[in-house]
């Protein structure tokens, strides 16, 4: 499993005092309130930063890190990804998984036929949609309990019962 989880991407600076404008990559953007530090990968190494304060503005997180004191220093971090150690992650409810742990999973139907590999997850309003890649085709599978029968993180496998009409001619 991935040791460090991505929680945001620095998309810009904010103001002249070194604030960072962050696009949250988490379902709960208020999770930043509970963090004391985070990591930013720079030149192939993770560097730890302590958080001075957090604010929220128009769907973005405005973050002030200790040691980043002006716009020029903040600009050097633009387009970098914010990470936290897995031990600092929010505890997920039963039956919920981090997307990064699911990517690359083998997806099979209930009869054992291989459908493909889980490539990505689309976040939609009502339910997530799994993007499963099989050769040069993408299959979209709704992430519903009625469809997804089992997820096994250890063996990296997902078993699904596909609704009629989803790739009947391809399985």
pLDDT tens digits along 29-73: 888 999 999 999 988 899 999 999 999 999 999 999 999 999 999
In DSSP terms, which residues pair with 21 in a beta bridge? 12, 62
Domains and CATH numbers, the chain: 4-88 (2.40.30.60), 99-160 (2.30.30.240)
The DSSP annotation for the chain comes to: --SEEEEEEEEEEETTTTEEEEEE-SS-GGGGGG-SEEEEEETTEEEEEEEEEEEEETTEEEEEETT--SHHHHHTTTTPEEEEEGGGSPPPPTT---HHHHTT-EEEETTS-EEEEEEEEE--SSS-EEEEEETTEEEEEE--TTTEEEEETTTTEEEE-PPTTSSTTT-
Residue 107 CB neighbour total at 10 angstroms: 24
Looking at residues 72-94, what average pLDDT do you find?
A: 93
Contact present, 11 and 94 (Cβ < 8 Å): no
In this predicted model, which residue has the larger pLDDT, 91 or 160? Answer: 160
- What pLDDT is recorded for position 167? 63
Would you state the pLDDT for residue 26? 86
Give the C-alpha distances (Å, rounded to integers) separating 141 from 21, 26, 30, 71, 113: 33, 21, 29, 44, 15
pLDDT given at position 117: 97
Over residues 17-39, mean pLDDT: 92
Span 100-154, pLDDT tens digits: 999 999 999 999 999 999 999 998 878 899 999 998 899 999 999 999 999 999 9
pLDDT at 171: 43
User: What pTM was estimated for this model as a whole?
Assistant: 0.77
């Amino acid at each position: 499993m991935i040791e460090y989880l991505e929680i945001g991407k620095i998309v810009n600076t904010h103001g002249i005092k070194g604030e960072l404008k962050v696009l949250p990559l988490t379902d709960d953007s208020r999770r930043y309130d509970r963090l004391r530090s985070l990591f930013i990968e720079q030149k192939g190494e993770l560097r730890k930063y302590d958080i001075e304060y957090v604010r929220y503005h128009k769907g973005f997180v405005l973050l002030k890190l200790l040691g980043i004191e002006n716009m020029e220093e903040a600009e050097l971090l633009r387009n970098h990804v914010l990470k936290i150690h897995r031990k600092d992650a929010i505890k997920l409810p039963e039956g919920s998984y981090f997307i990064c742990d699911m990517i690359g999973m083998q997806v099979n139907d209930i009869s054992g036929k291989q459908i493909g590999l889980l490539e990505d997850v689309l976040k939609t309003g009502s339910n997530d949609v799994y993007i499963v890649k099989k050769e040069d085709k993408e299959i979209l599978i709704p992430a519903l309990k009625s469809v997804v029968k089992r997820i096994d993180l250890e063996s990296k496998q997902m078993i699904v019962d596909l609704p009629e009409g989803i790739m009947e001619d391809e399985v």
